[in-house]
Amino acid sequence: MSINVKQLAAEKAVEYVQDGMKVGLGTGSTAYWAIRKLGERVSEGLKITAVATSQASEDQARELGIPLVAFGDIDSLDLTIDGADELDSKLQLIKGGGGALLREKIVASNSTRMIVVADESKSVATLGKFPLPVEIVPFAREWTVAELATLGCEPVLRKNGDELYKTDNGNYIADCHFVAIDSASDLALKLQGIPGVVEHGLFIGIADLAIIGKNDGSIEIIEGVRSI
């Protein structure tokens, strides 16, 4: 029987959740396993409150009986568990493959700790093989996309069938194809300076810990240095 490495990493991360915590729920196929395990622990008596980073995660949590609160009802979170599309040894991340990067960044930045859960295919020496998701406002999107292209990438507006993909916030996503991202922090600054960019999928100085499930059934833990 093959091992589900995403489940392995996600369930390890849920061991860090303690009674009374306010927990941020990530989005994606790895975060799914964390939410599932949390639901199991809640049914066994764990007392937590949670906020979700997407409609999909909110629906899953609700079904499992995990108590949810609105963003405005709490000041901060104790711990967020979320996946990543790529991570390097400094715990710089690319996120947003599932389109939830804006809420994910707000939630992770307002959490005392963020644990990234991933399978080993997400670990890279240099970020950028995975197209960087950038959330942009629909208004004048052509101009924003043209500005993104000046950063040395090929931006492609994400589609959902024949339509442009819309985030939970009503915005579009430009998936920016770089060959490699030499300096994630320089690129993050440039992206923040483009009018029309709502948020980008580079998470720098946000993750405290990565739990990586390996194909041989082991777990690798990487510690990050938080600056946000």
Ligand X SMILES: O=C(CO)[C@H](O)[C@H](O)COP(=O)(O)O
Looking at the annotation, which residues are catalytic?
Answer: 104
- Which lies closer to ligand X via its Cβ, residue 96 or residue 131? 96
Amino acid found at 96: G
- Which lies closer to ligand X via its Cβ, residue 142 or residue 224? 224
Which of the stretches 26-34, 137-145, 162-170, 187-195 binds ligand X when contact is defined by CB under 6 A? 26-34
Which of the stretches 77-85, 152-160, 191-199, 205-213 binds ligand X when contact is defined by CB under 6 A? 77-85
From the CB of 140, what's the least distance to ligand X, in Å?
Answer: 24
**Residue for token pair 């409150």:** 49
3-state secondary structure of 200: strand
CA distances (Å), 118 to each of 10, 67, 84, 96, 156, in order? 8, 25, 6, 14, 25
Task: Report whether 198 contacts 135 (CB < 8 A).
Answer: yes
Tokens of 126: 């240099």
Alpha-carbon torsion (146, 147, 153, 158), positive or negative: negative
Q: Is 57 annotated as a binding residue?
A: no
Count residues binding ligand X (CB under 6 A).
18
Residue 27 binds ligand X (CB under 6 A): yes
Residue 34 binds ligand X (CB under 6 A): no
- Euclidean distance between CA atoms 63 and 58, whole angstroms: 9
Q: Which of residues 162-221 bind ligand X (CB under 6 A)?
A: none
- Which lies closer to ligand X via its Cβ, residue 24 or residue 28? 28
Q: Is 122 annotated as a binding residue?
A: yes
Residue 24 binds ligand X (CB under 6 A): no
User: What is the C-alpha R_g of the chain?
Assistant: 17
Q: Which of residues 91-120 bind ligand X (CB under 6 A)?
A: 95-101, 104
- Which lies closer to ligand X via its Cβ, residue 19 or residue 55? 55
CA-CA-CA-CA dihedral for 215, 28, 24, 219, to nearest 10: 0
- Which lies closer to ligand X via its Cβ, residue 20 or residue 94? 94
Largest CA distance in the chain: 53
Which of the stretches 29-37, 145-153, 159-167, 213-221 binds ligand X when contact is defined by CB under 6 A? 29-37
Neighbours of 10 (CB within 10 A): 30
- Euclidean distance between CA atoms 156 and 52, whole angstroms: 27
From the CB of 159, what's the least distance to ligand X, in Å?
Answer: 16
Query: Given the rule CB under 6 A, which residues bind ligand X?
Result: 26-31, 82-85, 95-101, 104
- For the annotated binding site, the residues are 27-30, 82-85, 95-98, 122
- For the annotated binding site for substrate, the residues are 27-30, 82-85, 95-98, 122
